[in-house]
Chains A and B, each alone.
Chain A
Amino acid sequence: DAKTTQPPSMDCAEGRAANLPCNHSTISGNEYVYWYRQIHSQGPQYIIHGLKNNETNEMASLIITEDRKSSTLILPHATLRDTAVYYCIVKANSKLTFGKGITLSVRP
């Protein structure tokens, strides 16, 4: 599976949009981009995934560049409960390979 690169951490103010970047320059045509998050001492929570088109659900939006080499997860109105480690994963077969993720801290 293609490797992803994420900044180690970022913060944002409560109520503002949080834009979490991810680079996956070696992604293949049949590989999906998945986002999960892990709140401290809990199992990962599925957020969203996409292949080519931008996707939106009740939790977040996923913007994938046209060349598919990078993507951005957008939490439109961050709350304190969104503080977590966010993992961007590129997946083609059944396995998910977790990297270090990005730690998002939402400040009051």
Chain B
Amino acid sequence: GAVVSQHPSWVICKSGTSVKIECRSLDFQATTMFWYRQFPKQSLMLMATSNEGSKATYEQGVEKDKFLINHASLTLSTLTVTSAHPEDSSFYICSARDAPGTGRLGDTQYFGPGTRLTVL
């Protein structure tokens, strides 16, 4: 299988605080991980792409200093929402991909269950 987990599954925080979300690939090594967010009744929007050991590549309009991404190992990536505000409340979803071309999972992305962030 290809299992991706996220922790926590939901979090409520006060405005101005920082929140860290973890994404783990449980049964494969993820050379690349992706972070998405989804607002109510909307589709998923890619925020950033991270490769293990490298700096993340952010999509246009996503503040890299606000959404800190670390991909320090082949099985773990973290997204830290710094100085969170109510407008950051959203469903954050990560996905992970094996090594394209050589990994047993090919180029397919597998998604975590998501983390619902509510900022009061």
Give residues in A with beta carbon < 8 Å to B. Answer: 32, 34, 36, 38, 41-46, 49, 87, 91, 94-101
| A-B residue pairs in contact (CB < 8 Å), sample of 20 | A32-B107, A34-B108, A38-B44, A41-B91, A42-B113, A43-B6, A44-B44, A44-B111, A45-B111, A46-B110, A46-B111, A94-B32, A94-B49, A94-B97, A95-B46, A95-B49, A96-B95, A97-B46, A98-B36, A98-B43
User: B46 to A41, Cβ gap below 8 A?
Assistant: no
Q: Contact between A99 and B43 (Cβ–Cβ < 8 Å)?
A: yes
- Bound together, the chains give a CA A101 to CA B109 distance in angstroms of 17
Question: Contact between A46 and B91 (Cβ–Cβ < 8 Å)?
Answer: no
Interface pair A43/B46, CB less than 8 Å apart: no
Given the interface contacts A94-B97, A96-B46, A99-B43, does A43 sit within 8 Å of B108 by beta carbon? no
Residues of chain B within 8 A (CB-CB) of A36 are 111
Q: How many angstroms between the C-alpha atoms of A90 and B114 in the bound complex?
A: 23
Q: How far is the CA of A98 from the CA of B109 in the complex (A)?
A: 13
B20-45 near A? 1/0 per residue, CB < 8 Å: 00000000000010101000000111
B93 at the binding interface (Cβ < 8 Å): yes
In the complex, which residues of chain B have a beta carbon less than 8 angstroms from the beta carbon of A32? Answer: 107
Give bound CA distance, A43 to B44, whole Å.
10
Q: Which secondary structure characterizes the binding site on chain B?
A: strand
Measured in the bound complex, the distance between the Cα atoms of B34 and A97 in whole Å is: 12
Q: Is the CB of A94 within 8 A of B113?
A: no
Asked whether B111 lies within 8 Å of A41 as measured between CB atoms, the reply is no
Task: Kindly provide the distance from the CB of A21 to the nearest chain B CB, expressed in whole angstroms.
Answer: 18
Given A98-B43, A98-B44, A99-B43: A43 and B49 within 8 A (CB)?
A: no
Q: Is the CB of B46 within 8 A of A44?
A: no
CB contact between B114 and one of A41, A98, A99, A100 (< 8 Å): that residue: A41
Contact, CB under 8 Å: B46 / A100: no
Task: Give the distance in Å from the alpha carbon of A86 to the alpha carbon of B32 in the complex.
Answer: 24
Report the minimum CB–CB distance from B98 to chain A (whole Å): 12
* A40 shortest CB reach to chain B, Å: 11
Chain B residues closer than 8 Å to A45, beta-carbon distance: 111
Could you mark each residue 72-99 of chain B with 1 if its beta carbon is under 8 Å from any beta carbon of chain A, else 0? 0000000000000000000101010100
